[in-house]
Amino acid sequence: ISGINKTVDLDDYGFGITYSSPPGDTYSATITQNPITFDSKGVSNNAGSVAISNSSNTSYYRVVTNTSGVIKLRKWNGSSWD
């Protein structure tokens, strides 16, 4: 297999997932290219991070990628990222 491409649109999940940082967080998104893409080995063409939330802004997550293939998912605990 030379590569598998899949596009995931957050709107398709039906839960109102948005790009949003929690109140009081000083974090700024560093990934501005849309979409973020990953190759068949899971390596992203973007290095940086973005925050996402549900539509009611009750849960926040930060997705961090780098070009070596590491992907981190961090959850907001109310005062900092875990």
This prediction has a pTM of 0.70
Between residues 6 and 69, the one the model is more confident about:
69
Q: pLDDT tens across 4-63, in order?
A: 566 667 667 666 788 788 888 877 777 766 667 777 777 777 788 888 888 888 889 988
CA torsion through residues 24, 28, 33, 38, sign: negative
Q: Within 10 A of 65 (CB to CB), how many other CB atoms are there?
A: 22
Q: Is the dihedral of CA 9, 28, 37, 76 positive or negative?
A: negative
Quick one: tokens of 8? 């995931």
Asked if pLDDT for residue 1 goes beyond 50, the answer is no
